[in-house]
Chains A and B, each alone.
Chain A
Amino acid sequence: MSAVSSFKEAWSCKFVPATNLLDVHMGRLRHKVDMPNEAPMIHNVCSAGFILRAAS
């Protein structure tokens, strides 16, 4: 899922947010999804966005 489209979906708005806003929100999400000492489930996909993968 691309970063921008995920933001638009989540906040139901059309404008493109500043990069830092996306990063902070994604950071928060990671904090909630990926517990410490666990394999991360949210991965960066370079130049595209993010992907949610079940921890193997």
Chain B
Amino acid sequence: MFAALDSFSVQLPDFVRTTTFRWTASAFAVCIVLFSAFIYWEAASYMLAKTDAALTEESLAIAADSPDRELDAIDDRLSQDPRRIKLAGLFGSDGHRIAGNLKREPDGLKIDAPVQNAAAIRIDRDGPDEMTVRAIARSLPNGNVLVIARNIDELKELAELVARALMLGLPFALGFGSVIGMVLSVRAQKRVAELNTLVRRIVAGDLRQRLPTQGLDHPFDKLAEIANGMLDEIEAVVQEMAGVGNEIAHDLRTPLTRVRLVLERGRANAKTLEELEAITDRAIGGIDHSLTIITTLLRIAEIEYGGRLSGLDNVALADLVREVGDLYEPIAEDKHITLRVASGDDATVRGDRDLLLEAVANLVDNALKFTPVGGCVELALVRGENESIVRVTDSGPGVRENERKSVTRRFYRSDKSRHTFGFGLGLSLVSAIVKLHGFRLSIAAGPGCVAEIACALPSA
């Protein structure tokens, strides 16, 4: 049987098998059943309360009458009953019927109690008829008992009415729920199909594709935005990787070609041992250059993909800044550049001292490299809001607005720096170190260039 059901469900359209469709249709059906039950319950309670109030009122009115008018009042009550729902009876103290359409006092009916359910037998022209009634019994001053009742078959009729409405409404509700479920699930399926097509294109290598968003506060839109952010990042990384491959090849070929030329020329032209040694030294210099590029690349990769700080320690930034100042002071002097060191703010941050030293040293190295002879480089430690800033300012040509993001890219070299010796790796190394520490690197243009590492201070 289950196999048969399975084969049946396989033939159903796709949307029927979606959770959206099933839940919507079921929710509509359950809602309509609960709503009908609520209507019945509310209406029945209201009718019962009104019936009870009317019975109490009527019984009090008749009981207050004089004994000879009681009979008239009962006859009046019964004669004004075209729907044949009213019952009344006056019984003697021994239980015999004096007047009314009740055969006898209903069994178990408590006298002088509130209105209650009771089983009564009605007698009139159609013969005895047993029914469930709401009834109230009052003892009269002369010892007689007055019973006033009302047939509550009306409640059954109400229940039947609601059930009939339900039977008519349920298929409609199910149908309506199914249509809404179908629309919702077809829409969802359409978007999933769109996403699927786009994702296939992206997987096939077209990284420029982006998932469509409708600008609504919709889960699909949010998902698309997250995925698009991820794609932006992947596209940037892939482009950088592709560029880096070319640039590594290019930057390694230049020094190696030079080494080859030097060796070739030396082999042909060197006459003495000194000449040969000089040529070998130049060749070694070229090879060292290539090796430094490779070492630095590996170092950046290690910092970027290692993703973890090993030697985490308290680093006194003022000492670090002074040390870098001492380290570069001879070079500045050689180039006739004034190197000013201002380590006023003595802040301590959590980090790897060696890596931070390397980062600051690289910034100073860059500044010295691009500052013309007679210029000025300033290395300062200043206090920002919840952070300590290592600022390197130079009087060099500066960095153009459109180049500021690119300078941290591997091998990026500004046109202005084409003729300066370097690898174009310094700032990407600094950027990797700063990112690893969760600090912030910013390159701004002043009269020259202002490079800042903002180090977050540990919370006290």
Name the B residues within 8 Å of A19 (CB-CB): 285, 288-289, 292
Q: Are B288 and A16 in contact (CB under 8 A)?
A: no
* B327–A21 touching, CB < 8 Å: yes
B358 within 8 A of A: yes
Task: For B289, list chain A residues within 8 Å (CB).
Answer: 19
Tell me, yes or no, whether A53 is within 8 Å of chain B by CB.
no
Q: Does B330 contact A (CB under 8 A)?
A: yes
Q: Could you tell me the distance in whole angstroms from the C-beta of A26 to the nearest C-beta in chain B?
A: 10
B334 within 8 A of A: yes
Docked complex Cα distance between A15 and B302 (Å): 13
* B361/A15 in contact, CB under 8 A: yes
* Cα-based distance from A19 to B288 in the complex (angstroms): 9
The residue of chain B having its C-beta at the shortest distance from the C-beta of A20 within the complex is: B331
Shortest distance in angstroms between A43's beta carbon and chain B's nearest beta carbon? 14
Whether A15 contacts B292 by the Cβ 8 Å rule is: no
Interface pair A11/B323, CB less than 8 Å apart: yes
> Chain B contacts of A11 at CB under 8 A?
323, 327
Is B281 a contact partner of A18 (Cβ separation < 8 A)? no
A55 to B143 alpha-carbon distance, docked (Å):
148
Q: Which of A13-47 contact B (CB under 8 A)?
A: 13-21, 24-25, 27-28, 46-47
Knowing A21-B365, A47-B284, say if A16 contacts B295 (CB, 8 Å).
Answer: yes
By a CB distance below 8 angstroms, the chain A residues around B284 are 46-47
Nearest CB in chain B to that of A16: its residue: B295
A19 to chain B, nearest CB (A): 6
Q: How far is the CB of A48 from chain B (nearest CB, A)?
A: 11
Residues of A contacting B328 in the complex (Cβ-Cβ under 8 angstroms) = 21
Taken together as a complex, chains A and B put the C-alpha atoms of A27 and B277 apart, in Å, by 21
Q: Which residue of A lies closest to B357 (CB)?
A: A13
Do A21 and B331 contact each other (CB < 8 Å), given the known contacts A11-B323, A16-B292, A16-B295? yes
Task: Find out whether the CB atom of A14 lies under 8 angstroms from the CB atom of B354.
Answer: yes
Interface size on A, residues (CB 8 A): 16
Min CB–CB distance B326 → chain A (angstroms): 9
Q: Are B358 and A24 in contact (CB under 8 A)?
A: no
Question: Interface on chain B toward A: helix, strand, loop, or mixed SS?
Answer: helix
Q: Which of B327, B328, B334, B357 has the most CB of A within 10 A?
A: B327
Q: What are the residues of chain B within 8 A of A16 when measuring CB–CB?
A: 292, 295-296, 299
CB distance from A30 to the nearest CB of B (A): 12
A55 to B292, CA, bound (A): 34
Interface residues on B, range: 20 to 34
Which residues of A are found within 8 Å of B327, using beta-carbon distances? 11, 17, 21
Known contacts A11-B323, A14-B354, A19-B288; is A24 also within 8 Å of B330 by CB?
A: yes
B395 → A minimal CB distance (Å): 20
Q: Report A23 CB to chain B, min CB distance, Å.
A: 9
Q: Which residue of B lies closest to A15 (CB)?
A: B358
Min CB–CB distance A4 → chain B (angstroms) = 10
The distance in angstroms between the C-alpha atoms of A25 and B330, with both chains bound, is 7
A56 to B378, CA, bound (A): 44
How far is B330's CA from A17's CA once the two chains are assembled, in angstroms? 14
Chain A neighbourhood of B299, CB < 8 A: 15-16
A20 CB contacts on chain B under 8 angstroms? 331, 421
Chain A residue, CB-CB nearest to B291? A16
Which residues from B are CB-within-8-Å of A18? 292, 365
> Complex: how many Å from CA A14 to CA B361?
12
Q: In whole angstroms, what is the CA distance A28 to B284 when docked?
A: 23
Chain B residue numbers with a CB within 8 Å of A24 are: 330-331, 334
Residue of A nearest to B289 (CB): A19
> Which B-chain residue is minimally distant from A11 (CB atoms)?
B327
- CB neighbours (8 Å) of B361 from chain A are 15, 17
Q: B66: shortest Cβ distance to chain A, in Å?
A: 119
List of A residues within 8 angstroms of B277 by Cβ: 46
Provide the bound-state CA to CA distance between A11 and B353, in Å. Answer: 12
Complex A-B: 19 CB contacts under 8 Å? A11-B327, A13-B357, A14-B358, A15-B357, A15-B361, A16-B292, A16-B295, A16-B299, A17-B327, A18-B292, A18-B365, A19-B289, A19-B292, A21-B331, A24-B330, A24-B334, A28-B330, A46-B284, A47-B284
Residues of chain A having any CB pair with chain B under 8 Å: 11, 13-21, 24-25, 27-28, 46-47
A15-B354, A21-B328, A46-B284 known, 6 other contacts, Cβ within 8 Å: A11-B323, A11-B327, A20-B421, A21-B331, A24-B331, A46-B280
Rank and list the top 7 A-B pairs by shortest CB-CB distance, nearest first. A15-B358, A14-B354, A24-B330, A24-B331, A13-B357, A13-B354, A28-B330
